[in-house]
Structure 1
Amino acid sequence: MKLKTLVYPLIALLMVAGCKKEAAIMPDTITPEYSLPQGNHPYDTQIVDFYQTYGCYMLYKFTEKDFNWNISNKLSYVADQGDENYIVPALAALDKYLFKYYSSDFLKKALPYKIILSARIREIVDRTDTLATPVNSVSTFSHFAFGHAGSSLAGMTENELKVMKVDLHREFWMQAVSLGKIPLPPTFVRATNYEDVFSWTAKANGVFFPTANGVATNVYTDFEGYMNVIASKTVEELEQSLFKPLNDPNGKYKLKYNMIISYYKTVYGIDLQGITR
């Protein structure tokens, strides 16, 4: 009896101790990589609003790592900081030549983590900075960069602005599809066996670049070629050039073009042909 008398209270004490509430585990606070606003200009409010709407940073102050890092390699480009005196026309240009063609819902899905606003982007060729050849736009897995957040924008000709528009749409799309934020059209993915694509079979397969930087083409470089065409040529212009039998012997260019146009219109309500209107 004495043993039971001692054991029962001991068990009760252990049960109470076991049921005692543990301290709540609090998650670590993650500090945002970037801080907005970057300055105290009136346009900084617009940039903050853009981030709050789309979750995408617009940076006119950035580091080399912000611009160059691309997971496994570095971009072969250099970018100057955005000129704070010209950010307003740069934002207006992005809206006029790119954003207005897409719905708000689509932009929320497709926009990158950040947009780099650079006054000037140049390619590095054989370790040489090509100062004389500014680049309109480039992209990585986490951003696309706009190379006219400076005085150069005001002096561009209509033809130069048209080329800039094409480059912006291409880089916007390439970062979106490369990361799978926006899927490629399934029919387009299945349309070509890239192992059969060589310089002499490119037309038959509806491929623009059988190689890209010395590497055999794949579905992404193939799609890039089509985005260049979609953003630069009306369907009427294509009917009189690319889609003619001499240039499109198997009808593959027209077929794959229509796959892209149809898929994004059906799934996302986007009129890609409207880019050239």
Structure 2
Amino acid sequence: MKYKLFYILLIALAWVGCNDEDALTPTLESEPVIQFPQGDHDYDARIGDWYTRCGFYILYKYTPRELYFNMGQSWMEMTTDTLSRTEKYKIDEEAFVDGDNVFIYTETVSGNYLLGEHETDAGFRYMAKIEGDYVVIDEEYEENKGRESSFKMDMPDEAYVGKQVAWLEEMFLNLYQDSVLRANLPLKLMLGKSLYKYSRGASEKLSFYSVSNIFALSHGDSSIDNMTMEEKRVGKEDLHKWFLIEKLYDKIVAVVKSSEFFHVTDYEEAVAWGASNKFYSLGVVGYDKYNIGWNFPVETAKNNDLKGYIAMVIDYSSDELNAVPNDGRYNRYDCTGVLDPLKDVNGLVKKKYEILLKELKKMGIDLQKIGNLYH
């Protein structure tokens, strides 16, 4: 009897569920479909080859949604408004006039102007004039808006996309095995120009930017023809640090842990008071922002040490690392000659350097080849 009652109740509940006025209905909004290839230029065949080999799209035509929609989070577009303002500055207190030159200096504003109407390098106009005891400046300016880490990029000039693809291949794609790229790159590599990131209320011009499922690369215009070797080198360094230290670090540290890398240095001694005076003798480089300090947790010290080594090799050529240094003093901002016995007094830095290169080659990564590029 109790089983009959159970089934009667179950049928009744099912009937209520089927007649619910708020029943779910499928969304009618379709997911964006990537049209590929995007054109019939010579470089489209190369772009298609990368997709066939590694499974990612290199796109130079896209909608704002494809660029700025950050999967699972929010819209990541930085917006820019052109505004105008008029400001007055008291002469000899806030404004200092020398012929046609005007120097503005207050607690919140500093800058140089020329009397008359002029255009700035950024394409904005201003008028500076003297009215009585004041300098009056009418000017246009940009106001950037967005959430932290939002960005802005324009679509590239298609005449320059071929050079942009060649640069991407030269400084990045050709330096990794296809299997590494397939497993670790975002689905979409977006080519563009005039790339800016919004941070702390200001915009910063970048060569590349990555957020969640998007990778954006700038210089899809005449600027690619004018890039100096220094600009290419810095772009290369930033890009590979993102890929190796942010994207692949968990995989790298898992491989390195099975080697002798972390056994070469006494990390308890490395985090002791005053240890920075003998970092090189301990086999520590603590390069750039990956420093090791007093009383750091040992695991933090190990991770910073490994990241410091990776960043150091990305930034320095083999010749620079082996150069004869001016002195043997520790300098985490300059690793020139760090493998020379004058700095590497116990040979521990070179030992860990060689272990790291050997372990990364097991992953299909020639770290020093990356470091040698553009030097």
User: Structure 1: which amino acid aligns with 2:322?
Assistant: E
CA contact (8 A) 1:137 1:144 kept: yes
Structure-2 separation of matches of 1:59 and 1:188: 42
Residue in structure 1 matched with residue 350 of structure 2 by the alignment = 254
Structure-2 separation of matches of 1:37 and 1:57: 8
The total of aligned residue pairs comes to: 241
SS in 1 for 2:165: helix
**Cα shift at 1:210:** 4.4
Structure-2 separation of matches of 1:263 and 1:136: 30
Residue in structure 1 matched with residue 220 of structure 2 by the alignment = 149
1:206 matched to 2:288: no
CA contact (8 A) 1:82 1:117 kept: yes
Structure-2 separation of matches of 1:63 and 1:224: 35
Correspondent of 1:76 among 120, 138, 149:
149
Structure-2 separation of matches of 1:121 and 1:67: 13
Residue in structure 2 matched with residue 238 of structure 1 by the alignment = 321
Residue in structure 2 matched with residue 263 of structure 1 by the alignment = 359
**Cα shift at 1:163:** 2.0
1:226 matched to 2:321: no
Identify, as 1 or 2, the structure richer in helix.
Answer: 1
User: Structure 2: which amino acid aligns with 1:268?
Assistant: M
CA contact (8 A) 2:155 2:191 kept: yes
Structure-1 separation of matches of 2:191 and 2:165: 9
**Cα shift at 1:99:** 1.9
Residue in structure 1 matched with residue 369 of structure 2 by the alignment = 274
Residue in structure 1 matched with residue 35 of structure 2 by the alignment = 36
Residue in structure 2 matched with residue 100 of structure 1 by the alignment = 174
**Cα shift at 1:83:** 0.7
Residue in structure 2 matched with residue 46 of structure 1 by the alignment = 46
**Cα shift at 1:263:** 0.5
Percent sequence identity is 24
Structure-2 separation of matches of 1:253 and 1:263: 15
Q: Return closer, same or farther for 1:115/1:226 CA change in 2, 3 Å cut-off.
A: farther
Structure-1 separation of matches of 2:252 and 2:35: 24
CA contact (8 A) 2:290 2:308 kept: no
Q: Any idea what the Cα deviations from partners look like across 1:25-69, whole Å, max 9, x if unmatched?
A: xxxxxx875513273342444333322221112233254774584
Listed as ranges, the matches of 1:16-27 within 5 Å are none
SS in 2 for 1:243: coil
Residue in structure 1 matched with residue 256 of structure 2 by the alignment = 185
SS in 2 for 1:123: strand
**Cα shift at 1:159:** 1.9
CA contact (8 A) 2:57 2:189 kept: yes
Q: Return closer, same or farther for 1:59/1:174 CA change in 2, 3 Å cut-off.
A: farther
Structure-2 separation of matches of 1:235 and 1:44: 35
Q: Return closer, same or farther for 1:69/1:207 CA change in 2, 3 Å cut-off.
A: farther
Q: Return closer, same or farther for 1:153/1:143 CA change in 2, 3 Å cut-off.
A: same
**Structure 2 residues not aligned, in runs of 5+:** 1-29, 77-147, 324-336
**Cα shift at 1:90:** 0.7
RMSD: 4.1
**Cα shift at 1:257:** 2.6
CA contact (8 A) 1:139 1:174 kept: no
Q: Any idea what the Cα deviations from partners look like across 1:156-177, whole Å, max 9, x if unmatched?
A: 1122222222223222324541
Q: Return closer, same or farther for 1:113/1:39 CA change in 2, 3 Å cut-off.
A: closer
Residue in structure 2 matched with residue 89 of structure 1 by the alignment = 163
Structure-1 separation of matches of 2:260 and 2:194: 35
Identify, as 1 or 2, the structure richer in strand.
Answer: 2
Correspondent of 2:192 among 97, 110, 118:
118
SS in 2 for 1:242: coil
Q: Return closer, same or farther for 1:97/1:194 CA change in 2, 3 Å cut-off.
A: farther
More deviation, 84-93/112-121: 112-121
Considering Cα pairs closer than 8 Å and 6+ residues apart, tell me whether 1 or 2 has the greater RCO: 1
CA contact (8 A) 2:291 2:305 kept: no
SS in 1 for 2:248: helix
